[in-house]
Structure 1
Amino acid sequence: KVHAAQKQERKIFVVQQPKFKPPEVRKQVEVLKPRTVRVPIPDPTPDEPEPVREIEPEESLPDVVPDDVIFGVPDAPPAPVEDTGPIRVGGQIKEPRKIHEVKPIYPEIARKARMEGVVILEITVDKQGNVRDVKILRSLPMGLTEAAVEAVKQWKYEPSTLNGRPVEVLVTVTVTFRLQ
């Protein structure tokens, strides 16, 4: 018996590849010849040496130095002080040191409501160490923010310095309200 698969004829396909034509080689018409360049070679042993020139000394400077002449390296001029407003603490600017702190008064309404939390403020400490401007970054209700601002305005700092001179700085402070 012959199976059905064996009965099928096999078909063969012939695929013709396209003929490849190599690129044309062009002949050069003109052949360049190398040019000869003549370079003069200097004589390593000259016949006559160059004459030696004698230099006459110039007038000498006087031995006496006038009294108004100062010798040495001049001091560097002081750095210009530009009042560009408060500088953020960081890098060469150290945070000012607090020398007097006033504790905030806990508002009675917040105490009765058992309210606790943190008020975050950004303050400007001036060149004398006083708190000048207060900006509220995070507040609390029931008078806690106002109590924190009133207390911080009374704080006193040792001013920050830059190149030995006091500068205004921006400082972020937190005031914590916690019932005991």
Structure 2
Amino acid sequence: MKVKKYKHADLERKRSMFFQIGLIVALAASLAAFEWSTEEVLVPEDLAGQIDPYEEDLILPENIKLEEKQPQPVQPQKILEPIIKETNNNDPNAGEMNFSSEDWPEVPVDIPELPDEPVEDNSVYIFVERMPEPPGGMKGLMKYFAENIRFPVICAELGIEGRVYVGFVVDKDGSVTDVKVLRSPDANLSKEAIRVVQNMPAWKPGRQGGKPVKVSYTVPVNFKLQ
């Protein structure tokens, strides 16, 4: 069976090209070998025949002197002189003398202790030495409710009545703040109770340690049909 080869893999077709490349390389190497030479040592005419250029230890004649390195003179170093600033008579700071803290003796100084600043008490108390009071006492409070409560019409038509418990805070100046309903039978009654409590006149503030403080308070607002 004859083995078939592809044309691009057949090296027999390229034998002549390989032979030419090898011949060119051989000729180039031969020319380089003929052109190769060593460097010549040039010897002055007056020393020709006296010095062997390939001798390791050369003996120089007496008329040839080696150059000796002259010692360089030592340059003197510059001495830095202090710069003296001339005094200007027009300078406003002229003539001033600066003293450091070391020039003065230490003198003990008594610093008086300042009293502590009073800390404002913004706590809300439930019970204090002296509880807040409404104008006219509890009787005046009941009279105020009786004169200012407006029974909601819808509650009157539906027959809704009852007692609404309202919580609030009597501030240091006696004003009523943070009004909120704690318990109520109807939302319409709650709105009316809040309106009446918010419009109350200022109370006498509660006191703790002789100072006015904030006190939480609760009052019942009674809604009853006649």
TM-score of the pair, normalised by structure 2? 0.41
Superposition map of 1:37-56 within 5 A:
none
Pick from 136, 154, 159 the counterpart of residue 109 of structure 1: 154
Over residues 7-30 of structure 1, what are the superposed CA-to-partner deviations in whole Å (9 max), with x where a residue is unaligned? xxxxxxxxxxxxxxxxxxxxxxxx
Distance in 1 of aligned mates of 2:194 and 2:122: 25
Do the aligned partners of 1:95 and 1:171 also contact (CA within 8 Å) in 2?
no
- Whichever residue aligns with residue 97 of structure 1, its letter is E
Higher relative contact order (CA 8 A, sep 6+): 1
Query: What is the aligned partner in structure 2 of residue 98 from structure 1?
Result: 134
Which structure 1 residue ranges, 5 or more long, are not aligned? 1-76
Distance in 2 of aligned mates of 1:142 and 1:136: 10
Pick from 134, 138, 152 the counterpart of residue 179 of structure 2: 134
- Whichever residue aligns with residue 133 of structure 1, its letter is D
Label 1:176 to 1:78 Cα distance change in 2 as closer, same or farther (>3 A).
farther
Distance in 1 of aligned mates of 2:116 and 2:134: 29
- Pairing 1:118–2:154 present: no
Over residues 136-172 of structure 1, what are the superposed CA-to-partner deviations in whole Å (9 max), with x where a residue is unaligned? 2102325100000010011131111112221111001
Pick from 182, 193, 198 the counterpart of residue 148 of structure 1: 193
State the percentage of identical aligned residues. Answer: 35
TM-score of the pair, normalised by structure 1? 0.50
- Pairing 1:173–2:223 present: no
Distance in 2 of aligned mates of 1:151 and 1:160: 21
Please report how far the alpha carbon of residue 82 of structure 1 lies from its aligned counterpart in structure 2 after TM superposition: 3.8
Q: Which runs of 4+ in 1 moved over 6 A?
A: none
Label 1:109 to 1:161 Cα distance change in 2 as closer, same or farther (>3 A).
same
Do the aligned partners of 1:110 and 1:142 also contact (CA within 8 Å) in 2?
no
Do the aligned partners of 1:109 and 1:142 also contact (CA within 8 Å) in 2?
no
Distance in 2 of aligned mates of 1:162 and 1:119: 29
Please report how far the alpha carbon of residue 127 of structure 1 lies from its aligned counterpart in structure 2 after TM superposition: 1.0
Superposition map of 1:41-80 within 5 A:
80=118
Do the aligned partners of 2:129 and 2:209 also contact (CA within 8 Å) in 1?
no
Larger radius of gyration: 2
SS for the counterpart of 1:152 is helix
Over residues 100-133 of structure 1, what are the superposed CA-to-partner deviations in whole Å (9 max), with x where a residue is unaligned? 6353211111111121101111111111111110
Query: What is the aligned partner in structure 1 of residue 205 from structure 2?
Result: 159
Pairs aligned (count)? 102
Pick from 67, 81, 87 the counterpart of residue 125 of structure 2: 87
Over residues 80-102 of structure 1, what are the superposed CA-to-partner deviations in whole Å (9 max), with x where a residue is unaligned? 544233111x2x43331111635
> Which protein is richer in helix relative to its size?
2
Distance in 1 of aligned mates of 2:219 and 2:194: 11
> Which protein is richer in strand relative to its size?
1
